[in-house]
Amino acid sequence: MLGGDGEAVIHYPDPRLRERSTEVEEVTDEMRKRIETLWPVMYEQGGIGLAAPQVGWMVRLFLMNLAGESDEGEEVCFVNPVVQSKRGIEVDEEGCLSLPNVHGAVARPKKIVVTGKTLDGDEIEVEAEGLAARCILHELDHLDGKLIIDHFSEQDQRKNAGAIENLERAFADRPRVESEAEAEGEPAPQ
Ligand SMILES: [Zn+2]
């Protein structure tokens, strides 16, 4: 779960996965460095896309490499992505690094045009279809606090109920850092 520099993918139902991330005003060197540490996190977990909020970094950017391998495909980082147009509709199975063992059908536009910025701060406009469009829209959902389970049919919700319950249990039982109040010997709030 840990990648370079200790970045870790957070799992459902972590409330940060439900927040809307904030616009990036300027891509700084510090941000570029942090992004570099996220590629190995994505590859180690077999992902083809990773949105910043999935490591608890609440900014509007995501990484994508449809090959899912560091030495193959094309690495794309999208900053402040905005969908300008959508066409058609296609249903396909999706999974998510923040929802291990959860899979289901998600209907998404087939073709999209997306604008945004590169890591160099250049404005870009990209036309994507098929898996690329699906991946971009999946990551964009993360920037708005939306998850694949929100798109699932009732049947797929039921099919994944056990896996979702396991994640909820794991989150409730997660190891926690002692709160400052506890560290100072004050009673913890009830
Ligand atoms: Zn995801």
**Exposed/middle/buried for residue 102 (C-beta within 10 Å: 0-12, 13-18, 19+):** buried
Nearest CA to 2 among 48, 53, 31, 40?
40
The correct answer on CATH 3.30.470.20 for the domain covering 4-170 is: no
User: Of these residues, 129, 139, 168, 184, which one is catalytic?
Assistant: 139
CA of 54 to the centre of ligand 1 (A): 8
pLDDT in tens, 37-48: 999 999 999 999
Q: Do 48 and 81 contact (CB within 8 A), yes or no?
A: no
What pLDDT does residue 176 have?
79
Q: Is 139 a catalytic residue?
A: yes
pLDDT in tens, 59-76: 999 999 999 999 999 999
Quote the pTM value: 0.90
